Amino acid sequence: MNTGSARDANEILIPRTIADEAMDAAACIGCGACVAACKNASAMLFVSAKVSQLAILPQGQSEHKERAERMVAQMDAEGFGACSFTGACSVECPKSISLDHIARMNREYLGAKLSSDNVNG
Ligand code: SF4
């Protein structure tokens, strides 16, 4: 029996501004310069770029709450420091990853923590 196939990603139309924002986040090469530049050795810029890259696009909406929670939990488990929002990471980043991604990840994480699924689960 033919049960069909996965939907082609190109079928979902995405506004140019959203696509550009996702591409900016995807530009992170994982070099770690942001962590090295941070006085707290925080990995927030790197991790938030990865969270944003997926959270911005409709294709990344499934599991977006779990993704933010798990990536923050893993970042903490690896021993990275807390972000005090000095911005040194973004200044040193060779790909000019914006601090806006940290704000987005914080919203994603807070939303996941406050969601009814997690309160009841
Ligand atoms: S410095 Fe920029 S490109 Fe390198 S890991 Fe950090 S966010 Fe990614």
Ligand 1 centroid from CA 22, angstroms: 15
pLDDT for 8 equals 79
Q: Considering only residues 86 and 2, tell me which one the structure prediction assigns the higher pLDDT.
A: 86
Residue bearing the CA closest to ligand 1, atom 4: 31
CA-nearest of 108, 45, 31 to 81 is 45
Q: State the closest ligand 1 atom to the C-alpha of 32, by its place in the atom list counted from 1.
A: 5
Which of 45, 71, 96 is the pocket-test mutation for ligand 1 (most atoms within 8 Å of CB)? 45
Q: Any residues with CB less than 8 A from the CB of 102 and at least 6 apart, and which?
A: 44, 45, 48, 83, 85
What is the pLDDT confidence band of residue 10, given thresholds at 50, 70 and 90? confident
Q: Which fold has domain 15-120?
A: Fumarate Reductase Iron-sulfur Protein; Chain B, domain 2 (1.10.1060)
Residue bearing the CA closest to ligand 1, atom 3: 28
CA-to-CA distance for 20 and 26, rounded, in angstroms?
Answer: 10
Using only C-alpha atoms, the chain has a radius of gyration, in whole angstroms, of: 16
Q: Domain-by-domain residue ranges, the chain?
A: 15-120
Q: Are 104 and 53 in contact (CB under 8 A)?
A: no
What are the tens digits of pLDDT across the range 103-120? 999 999 999 999 855 554
Residue 60 has pLDDT above 90, yes or no: no
CA-nearest of 78, 70, 81, 66 to 112 is 66
* 104 phi/psi in degrees, rounded to 5: -65, -45
Residue 45 has pLDDT above 70, yes or no: yes
pTM for the whole thing? 0.85
Q: State the closest ligand 1 atom to the C-alpha of 46, by its place in the atom list counted from 1.
A: 7
Which of the residue ranges 8-17, 62-71, 77-86 would you say has the lowest mean pLDDT? 8-17
Q: Mean pLDDT across the chain, nearest whole number?
A: 91
49 within ligand 1 shell (Cβ under 6 A): yes
Mean pLDDT to the nearest integer, 8-17: 86
Ligand 1 centroid from CA 29, angstroms: 6
